[in-house]
Structure 1
Amino acid sequence: MTSQSQGIQQLLQAEKRAKDKLEEAKKRKGKRLKQAKEEATAEIDHYRLQREKEFRNKETNVMGSQGNLSSKIEEQTTEAIRNLTSSYHRNMESMMKKLLSTICDISPEIHPNFRPAV
């Protein structure tokens, strides 16, 4: 009977060791999964930051060129206004003289198709 109880004791101890090993394996697996998840999160964050940086660079290039376009358009508009103003001042007096002479200098004439009533 003692050999039976020793056998049972050995089986119980073997079962306990197997449970301990199983628990330890589960803990290691959980630890590895947690570590893999953290590494994946870090890699995702790194990738996200890299893509955002590239996006900002592209956005800056596009917006910068739009800023350049708006400044060029504004510069061209200012130049056109300056040219029109100078042209107006150069030609205003001669145009006013022509307009006044056309309105005020009337030379009455009989129309060539006019037939006096007899």
Structure 2
Amino acid sequence: MASQTQGIQQLLAAEKKAAEKVAEARKRKARRLKQAKDEATEEIEKFRQERERAFKEFEAKHMGSREGVAAKIDADIRVKLADMDRAIQTRKDPFILEILQYVYNISPEVHKNYNHK
């Protein structure tokens, strides 16, 4: 009976050892997964930064800076407004005179569809 108890004790000890090894293996696997996830996150962040830098270079090369584009648009608008002002100034007097001619030279007429009975 003592050998049976001793055999059971050995089996329990072996089972405990196996459970510890399985638990340790699970911990190692979890650490490896976490490490792989961290490395992947770091690599993704590096890739994102590289692509963002490349985009900014492309944008600066082809479009200039946003401030530069805004300044160019403002300058274009100012030029167009100045052109419009010049056109108004050169055509204003003749236009006003023409309008006044229409106002002063009214010739009242009866409409052709008017039937006076």
- The residue aligned with 2:77 is 84
Matched AA of 1:27 = K
- The residue aligned with 1:22 is 11
Return the TM-score normalized by structure 2: 0.61
RMSD between superposed Cα atoms in Å: 3.0
Query: Identical aligned pairs, as a percentage?
Result: 7
- The residue aligned with 1:5 is none
Once the two structures are superposed, the pairs formed by residues 1-118 of structure 1 within 5 Å of their partners are 12-63=1-52, 69=59, 72-89=65-82, 91-106=83-98
Matched AA of 2:91 = L
Structure 1 residue 30, shift from structure 2 partner: 0.7
Matched AA of 2:71 = T
Q: Per-residue CA shift, 1:1-36, capped at 9, x if unaligned? A: xxxxxxxxxxx1221221121011111101101100
Aligned residue pairs, count? 95
Moved over 6 A (4+): none
Q: Which of structures 1 and 2 has the bigger CA Rg? A: 1
Determine the C-alpha separation between the residues in 1 that align with 2:24 and 2:80. Answer: 77
